[in-house]
Amino acid sequence: MPQKPIFTSPQEAEAAFYDALERGDLDAMMSVWSEDEEIVCVHPGGPRLVGYALVREGWRRIFEGGARLKVQLLALSTLHSPLTAVHSLIEQIAVVGEKHLAAPVAATNVYMRGALGWRMIVHHASAVPPTSIGDAPQILH
């Protein structure tokens, strides 16, 4: 098994995450994730997947569908500390070759720095109505 890359920043890990998503590359996707059993992934409309094996299986099922995706990142806000980073953003996801299959997704990505660089520990994505992007009131809940 090839050695996992070392991501020197959360931004580098995030770029690798979205590159793997667009290419549908399961091994590249999982190289971004921590191998801890506490990792969590929630896909839009899907269940909460906890642990490396379930997160991998969730991505495998998505990628086996064969659709090529193009992702544009919007409205990124970040919170960084020396060992953790939280990125909140809008993923504008389109299916390559399909003009009318595009959807905005609100996502939160959490990264943690360890001995082998930065790794994703949480990806939580939820579909949002297109009209709500940028129009939502700034309310804490």
* Domains identified in the chain and CATH numbers: 10-129 (3.10.450.50)
pLDDT of 139 over the 60 cut: no
Query: Using 50, 70 and 90 to split pLDDT, how confident is the model at 141?
Result: very low
Angle (CA) 72-76-40 rounded to 5° is 85
Two structure tokens written together for 119 = 């790794």
Helix or strand (DSSP H, E) at 111: strand 102-114
Determine the pLDDT at residue 140: 39
pLDDT tens digits, residue range 10-64? Answer: 999 999 999 999 999 999 999 999 999 999 999 999 999 999 999 999 999 999 9
pLDDT tens digits, residue range 66-84? Answer: 888 899 999 899 999 999 9
Provide the residue type at 123 as one letter: H
Q: Report the DSSP beta bridge partners of residue 9.
A: none
Q: pTM to 2 decimals?
A: 0.86
Instruction: Report CA-CA distances (Å) from 121 to 25, 94, 127, 135.
Output: 18, 25, 20, 29
